[in-house]
Amino acid sequence: MAEKINFFAERREMVEFQIKRRGIRDPKVLEAMLKVPRHLFVPEQMKELAYGDEPLPIGEGQTISQPYIVAYMTEALKLTGHEKVLEIGTGSGYQTAILAELAREVYTVELIPELSRRAQKVLRELGYQNIHFLIGDGTLGWPEHAPYEAILVSAAPATVPRSLIEQLKENGRLIIPVGTEYQELVLVRKKKDGWEEERLIPVRFVPLVTVH
């Protein structure tokens, strides 16, 4: 008889050894990482690797981010549960689910239709009601629902897109990987008369595609 993998035990280990040990403390982020079934967001033949300490291919040349990076970026947004959040790069929908656990509404934009559709199916089957999907160029944000208290981008542009800063509410936070060969996570805080940027850790993301 084939042995069934205990995915909950795998998630507990993931949270303990990859996430808590590296300094993520927000209890709500840890709870969400423990709850969301990451193995449902990777291709069938990769389920066993879903809780490993690495990004994985999800098709179309794209990847699901490493669990620690998902936790790190989410924590940086300091969500309290009331926010309207914009996500650029739905991909597998895994990060989307984590955001949906921690915010009021999530607006998520993906360029590749097949990926968006697959993510929509998984997230619908999991019962999420607070996620809104758009297939299109996320470089432009999603102006119809702006402003957002928080924005998370999971593909890297060369510089922070101005339209995303514009769609951020005053005191809102934007977390985004920036760079080409060398990339780092940048945290943007919107102020009354402008914004502040803080460089955080070096990362490796797929490029944010520019559509002309």
18-42 in b/e form (b: 16+ CB < 10 A) is bbeeeebebeebbebbeebebbbbb
Q: Which residues are catalytic?
A: 65
In angstroms, give the least distance from the CB of 164 to ligand SAH: 11
What tokens does 82 get? 């009331």
Give the SS3 label for residue 189: strand
Identity of the residue, 161 or 172, whose beta carbon is nearer to ligand SAH in the bound complex? 161
Task: Tell me: does residue 154 bind ligand SAH (CB under 6 A).
Answer: yes
Residues in the interface with ligand SAH (CB under 6 A) total 24
Count of C-beta atoms within a 10 Å radius of residue 57: 12
In angstroms, give the least distance from the CB of 95 to ligand SAH: 4
What tokens does 152 get? 């998370």
Identity of the residue, 188 or 208, whose beta carbon is nearer to ligand SAH in the bound complex? 208
Where in 86-145 is the site for ligand SAH (CB under 6 A)?
88-89, 91-92, 94-95, 109-112, 115, 137-139
Identity of the residue, 95 or 120, whose beta carbon is nearer to ligand SAH in the bound complex? 95
> Which residues make beta-bridge pairs with 189?
173, 196
In angstroms, give the least distance from the CB of 2 to ligand SAH: 27
Where in 182-211 is the site for ligand SAH (CB under 6 A)?
206, 208-209
Residue in 155, 65, 59 with CA at minimum distance from that of residue 114: 59
In angstroms, give the least distance from the CB of 97 to ligand SAH: 9
105-131 in b/e form (b: 16+ CB < 10 A) is bbbbbbbbeebbebbbebbeeeebeeb
- Chain position whose Cβ is nearest to ligand SAH: 91
Identity of the residue, 88 or 188, whose beta carbon is nearer to ligand SAH in the bound complex? 88
Identity of the residue, 154 or 172, whose beta carbon is nearer to ligand SAH in the bound complex? 154
Where in 39-68 is the site for ligand SAH (CB under 6 A)?
58, 62-65
Rounded CA separation 63/173 (Å) = 24
Give the SS3 label for residue 52: coil
In angstroms, give the least distance from the CB of 189 to ligand SAH: 22
Q: Where is 192: in which H helix or E strand?
A: none
Judged by the rule CB under 6 A, the positions of this chain that interact with ligand SAH are: 58, 62-65, 88-89, 91-92, 94-95, 109-112, 115, 137-139, 154-155, 206, 208-209
